[in-house]
Amino acid sequence: MSSLRTLSTARRALRCWPPINLARTSRTPIRTFQNYAKLQQISQVDGSIKAGTMSKNSRENAGATTPAFNPTLPFFSLTGKTAVITGGARGLGLAMSKALVMSGADLAIVDINKDEAKKQAVAIARLFSETYPNQKTPKVTAHYADVSAKSDVDAAIAEILTQHSQITNLVTCAGFCENCDAIDFQPERIKRMLGVNVEGTYYFATGVAKHMMERQIAGNMVFIGSISGSIVNVPQPQALYNASKAAVRHLAASLAVEWANKDIRVNCLSPGYMLTEIAMDAQILVDNPGLKAEWESKIPQGKMGAPEELMGTVAFLSSAASRYITGQEIKVDGGYTVC
């Protein structure tokens, strides 16, 4: 039989082969992802269309009855989730707060400056309502905590749960950097640095995890680290800051393993050199006006990052789109650490 005749016969056979009904194929679910079936029911932002639920007739007439097609996987939506973010009223945290709400999540902003948190909560809710006037605006609340004080953390979580029915997501962004020669760093500053950057992350993570475990909620946490946890930045002297962010990175990995069987994912997002008001006001840049240009010369993309460039990554790590990612670190640094 010639090759052309063989190919023709094969094509006829394929056309005659009975179609497989994938909907009837049984499969044992993976225990760790008990909510996978629910992922296929995630609504689009407007809540009117659910993936996998439209009949043939409704699909054919969708153009006349549904909003414009939004070419984004429904797994990226945070609709129905309630997130807590620490340090969410300013700088990088503010950009991440916007990302969570604009992705559909209700949000509790925790900050040591509660007045600023209140102001930003109103502004973010307004941004959503103006952007999506026909959608229900997520609930955005403001709360106070010095994250280095466990009593403050416990009180903030308790207050959040009186205003929100649950907590499904946590982003720990509260932290600070201080440049100082190691031999000159004073004990009280050491305690403050480690208290905010490390203990604050630990207190909020364990407090929220306890809530998730008690209610058997599949949870998701994103710790904000820094490339300083993996490399030694130069020329600024910040040994203690580097050590604190290395601790955050390894804490994320450790808790990810410990809590995996509780359906709680933990990852670390590590920004590189980001252009914030705080960064530009830092004494190291005031004293060394050419340092920004020096840093940018070492970044393959040739520029410091904007806070908004973290929005997509934090939304991704907070969503079901990353449901098989845990214990990992994602660096957002314009390629700085690969050189």
Give me the active site residues, please. 226, 241, 245
Output the CA torsion 81→200→230→90 (10° steps): 70
- Residue 196: Cβ-neighbour burial (10 angstroms; 0-12, 13-18, 19+): buried
Distances (CA, A) of 276 to 82, 271, 282, 301: 27, 12, 10, 18
- Residue 57: Cβ-neighbour burial (10 angstroms; 0-12, 13-18, 19+): exposed
For 232, list phi and psi in degrees, rounded to 5.
-110, 110
Number of residues that make up the chain: 339
Tally of CB atoms within 10 A around 72: 12
